[in-house]
Structure 1
């Protein structure tokens, strides 16, 4: 008698859902096992696969040749690509986007995180400047690049300065001095900062010929649908900047995820005269080289225990830990400092200078664990990191894809040398096709959120617990509700004995003394100092790299 016959006799009269319990049915041999999907290995320099170019105007049959290699780029820029950045071959987004931007067309480009989008728009911008000539441009702003965060704007400016090394075009970002900003040809910054400079008459965009929006999907989230003309709305800010630029200026939208709002925004601003570029068929998906893991923790206390267990098992530093709010970010850092872990926080509560020092310390490997909010999830290149921890489950697929995209360690990568804000790698430092790990903690309060993320996890090859697979499928209404709904979370704290007040006081004093000793040891080993406002004896004191 075979397994199927035995199972039928034992379950006679009982209803068995073969779809829900497919794994059990496969193990019993009732139904054949699904053949594993073969990963589609698309070579990075193969122009025939994975690139989809579509004209917004259906009647327009114009075709744009793909960039085969960097020999088609300006010679001076090509030398910087190979000698400074050590980029040998263009990525697929660079193959498709560079010829389109050269031709003066508006475009909406979508590619995975770390696939070289910055080079895709910065190379044609510098080429156009060299073609126009220094006499015709003088000290006027030719292009503005908008990004959702100051750190990303500074990183884009660093890549631009590396591409333009030894050439006359000046690339600046809003973190530099007013003199550099007013004399630059390409300005990178956030919309608010550039508008403030326009209001104070520090900038003149009347001759600006091109506008680039990087991480456009994130910026479009800051939109007041009830009042589109709200000054805090991104669409209103872009319209204001466009009105200050030259007529018939060119626009480029770049993003890691293709959402309906990005496509709609492109059609509205391009008057259906533009090009859409998509890399890959999967859309909002995580790189197949990232191994994803989901851990059920029960409650907030369980999350802290799971984090300590992860650290105890050992990991390759630095790792990035994402939280939901800046308060939780600071609190978790305080808990880890009690344990003697070399951790730093990066959130909106810090000043621009302090945030930059933390990022630099993470890039050169002086930080074991970077605790941050979604301020670091968009566009930042932290090439030494191999592990991403979602301590608080993100509330949308877009946020999850961007968070996981921060991973990117590759053993053969070289050490980086730091010059000002620009990182000059000795070998190519993009996160394209690098392997890594992503761990997501979820509690009972995150049940609805994990339902939304389950689809993209399964699509990218993640192995999820059966309890997660059994959760009901989320519909569109669930996604809208979860995105706006705030999760009530318990306060993070290490529990101390409370029955005996004397014992509780002794325990607290002992923990404080241990923290002081551990912090001094970490400071001595890693050449760190406490930031202003922090104290060795205070819980949650912050650290920075000593000059």
Structure 2
């Protein structure tokens, strides 16, 4: 128990974090006791001065008591409240830091050989790329002005200067023509700073809102590395890859693979070297992938499960791999791929350039990244976890039983294409069937469908043959659909990060989109508070039923250098009340129980009886 003594008396301060309601009650009681004490003292002084001592010292006491005015009392009370609040913030900051430190993975993200030999890389990878001379000679003040104009925040040492055009980045004319075929003529803010960092061989954490062009930041340097490798020493059968991209979902891996193949095709068409790429994902023909590996590949795009399968069977190796990118890095960790990522890194034999990208990058992921990166550069366009400002966000209160009927009315807001997100597979199937019965051209995807059906649905939606795509969060992260007009959240997601990614499917590349979210009495208050702060931050209309929500004053304040939750990034709560953290703890707890039960069951069998 910590005790602080001041001129206003003794205040007992509990060492553990105290809930808001209890804090308010304690503060009110302390203020009331303090005011009573002051008043009692003033009355005693007044009585002493008026009993037989009309002048001299008695009059001085009366004068001193008279100086204790209501203004003085109010000032003292205000100071007391500020001191108490400051003490609470200090305790909360210390408590939150302890929680995050406990969550932080203590093991370094390194290969087994590196850990065994205590190999530590202290300098980043070297490349042949250099920015133009006039940019190298640009003063730091001018560089900062360019970044401020684009709302680019950077962190790290020896950061390469921002480049305003692809020509300044020294990309060949064939690459620039391939960009024009995609309708890209000038770089976006994340590309202005991110591409020079990646071209220079620096490890990087890239954070930018959805639809800002993060994919090109890691695709273009990867292609240039593969091109340079092929020019200097061509790959032969069984060799490669030179670079690796890891994705959390098959759909995102397929999309990235198609983008890479577009640039590879243009390079080959214009006389460049033939670069080979591989898509290693589950649910596809294993024989075709193994055939591509036998020929040798320059670039591999993969999901963790299939890649580990190839590595353990020695169908692929990382002897020549110098470039690794984790796309949607927070999702890779959240989906339980952390051990798989560590296993993949075990197969590296030498230093590699590592990049991590996402629209949301909670502190836990940044701590995880710090063990894998060498002198990393953080490039942040806007607040990590902030919603895209080009999306008009609308929140509507709809009763659970009326949601599916109101959905048809909601579809009339904009022309197609429209994306509808649900929390579970059953709702996807129900809504898909309902829309088909109502004559709406719709398709649905979720993790329970086979890969061929998922790819066909995505293809038909992208090509405009279907007007509505109903999906779970497998379509929420990283996927780029052309000209999505409207995103409907049939269910409010359980985590605010997923909300940010969902609505980011519209309003891309500077276009305006609409996002409608259904909420009702069953929606948890914590997620509603997070949503409220997202709406306020994006200067969107806050509906009346959310405006009246009571929240902790301290939730959205900067405490210990952290605003909101340090774990999930939500602005409506602190890490001490994070629903995502509670879910993760429950998963870990139930997983541990299941593991123990499984071992106990095996111990009772013939093969384990002696060992037990």
Show the counterpart of 2:521.
Answer: 444
Matched, 1:146 2:223: no
Distance 2:147 2:579 in 1: 41
Matched, 1:307 2:410: no
Distance 1:368 1:85, change over 3 A: closer
Matched, 1:470 2:548: yes
Show the counterpart of 2:378.
Answer: 276
SS in 1 for 2:379: strand
Deviation at 1:137, TM superposition (A): 4.7
Distance 1:438 1:478, change over 3 A: farther
Show the counterpart of 2:466.
Answer: 367
Show the counterpart of 2:423.
Answer: 324
Show the counterpart of 1:70.
Answer: 166
Distance 2:356 2:580 in 1: 27
2:155–2:378: 8 Å Cα contact kept in structure 1?
yes
SS in 2 for 1:445: coil
Counterparts of 1:156-195 in structure 2, within 5 Å, are 156-165=256-265, 166=268, 167=272, 168-174=274-280, 177-178=288-289, 179-182=291-294, 183-195=296-308
Deviation at 1:317, TM superposition (A): 1.0
Distance 1:447 1:469 in 2: 15
Distance 2:322 2:458 in 1: 32
Deviation at 1:252, TM superposition (A): 0.3
| Normalised TM-score (structure 1) | 0.69
Distance 2:390 2:381 in 1: 17
Deviation at 1:310, TM superposition (A): 1.8
Distance 2:247 2:506 in 1: 20
Distance 1:327 1:483, change over 3 A: farther
Count of residue pairs the alignment pairs up:
401
Counterparts of 1:340-359 in structure 2, within 5 Å, are 340-359=439-458
1:81–1:88: 8 Å Cα contact kept in structure 2?
no
Please, which runs of 5 or more residues in structure 1 have no aligned partner? 1-44, 224-233, 409-430, 487-547
Matched, 1:118 2:118: no
Deviation at 1:433, TM superposition (A): 1.9
SS in 1 for 2:483: coil
Distance 1:212 1:279, change over 3 A: same
The equivalent position to 2:227 in structure 1, one of 130, 139, 151, is: 130
2:166–2:176: 8 Å Cα contact kept in structure 1?
no
Deviation at 1:263, TM superposition (A): 1.1
Once structures 1 and 2 are overlaid, which stretch shifts more, 368-377 or 96-105? 96-105
Q: Any idea what the Cα deviations from partners look like across 1:78-135, whole Å, max 9, x if unmatched? A: 3443443232111111121222222221111101111111111111111122223345
Show the counterpart of 1:52.
Answer: 153
Find the structure with the greater CA-based Rg: 2
CA RMSD, Structure 1 to Structure 2 (Å): 2.2
Distance 1:99 1:359 in 2: 33
Deviation at 1:51, TM superposition (A): 1.4
SS in 2 for 1:389: strand
Matched, 1:87 2:184: yes
Distance 1:266 1:77 in 2: 34
Distance 2:180 2:579 in 1: 50
Matched, 1:378 2:480: no
Show the counterpart of 2:366.
Answer: 263
SS in 1 for 2:396: strand
Q: Which has the higher helix share?
A: 2
The equivalent position to 2:509 in structure 1, one of 432, 442, 450, is: 432
1:47–1:95: 8 Å Cα contact kept in structure 2?
no
1:388–1:403: 8 Å Cα contact kept in structure 2?
yes
Distance 1:356 1:266 in 2: 32
| Normalised TM-score (structure 2) | 0.62
Matched, 1:101 2:198: yes
SS in 2 for 1:244: coil
